[in-house]
Amino acid sequence: MTTAELKAANAQYLWHPMAHPKAMQQTPPDIIARGEGSWIWDIDGHKMIDGVGGLWSANLGFGRKDIRDAIVEQLDELAFYNTFRGTTHPRAIELSARLVKLMEPDGVTSVFFSNGGSDAVEGALKLARQYWKLKGQGDRTKYISLRMGYHGVHFGGMSVNGNTNFRRNYEPLLPGCFHVDTPWVYRNPYTENPERLAEICAEQLDREISFQGSDTVAAFIAEPVQGSGGVIVPPANYWPLIRKVCDKHGVLLIADEVVTGFGRTGHMFGTRLWGVKADMWCLAKGISSGYVPLGATAISANVAEVFQQGDASLGSVTHGYTYSGHPIAAAAALATLDALEKEDVVGNAARQGDYLMQRLKDLGQRNRLIGDVRGVGLMVCLEMVADKATKASFARGAKEVTEVAREAYRLGAMVRTSGPNIILSPALTISRSEIDVLCDALEGAFKKVAP
* Inter-residue contact 369 to 385 (CB < 8 Å): yes
Q: What's the closest the beta carbon of residue 117 comes to ligand PMP, in angstroms? A: 2
Closer residue to ligand PMP, CB minimum distance, 152 or 419: 152
Q: What's the closest the beta carbon of residue 156 comes to ligand PMP, in angstroms? A: 11
* Inter-residue contact 440 to 356 (CB < 8 Å): no
Closer residue to ligand PMP, CB minimum distance, 222 or 445: 222
Closer residue to ligand PMP, CB minimum distance, 37 or 152: 152
CA dihedral 362, 366, 368, 373 (to 10 degrees): 0
The H-assigned helical ranges of 151-218 are 155-160, 194-212
- Which residues are near ligand PMP by CB under 6 A? 116-118, 121, 150-152, 223, 227-228, 256, 258-259, 284
User: Pairing mode, if any, of strands 379-387 and 421-424?
Assistant: antiparallel
Bridge partners, 49 (sequence order):
39, 413
Q: What's the closest the beta carbon of residue 115 comes to ligand PMP, in angstroms? A: 8
Strand order, beta sheet including 39-42? 32-36, 39-42, 47-50, 413-414
DSSP 287: G
Closer residue to ligand PMP, CB minimum distance, 53 or 152: 152
Closer residue to ligand PMP, CB minimum distance, 113 or 150: 150
Q: What's the closest the beta carbon of residue 307 comes to ligand PMP, in angstroms? A: 23
Residue, CB closest to ligand PMP:
117
Q: What's the closest the beta carbon of residue 152 comes to ligand PMP, in angstroms? A: 3
User: Pairing mode, if any, of strands 421-424 and 392-393?
Assistant: unpaired
Across 261-318, where does the E strand assignment appear?
A: 280-283, 295-300
Closer residue to ligand PMP, CB minimum distance, 232 or 337: 232
Q: What's the closest the beta carbon of residue 223 comes to ligand PMP, in angstroms? A: 5
* Inter-residue contact 419 to 382 (CB < 8 Å): no
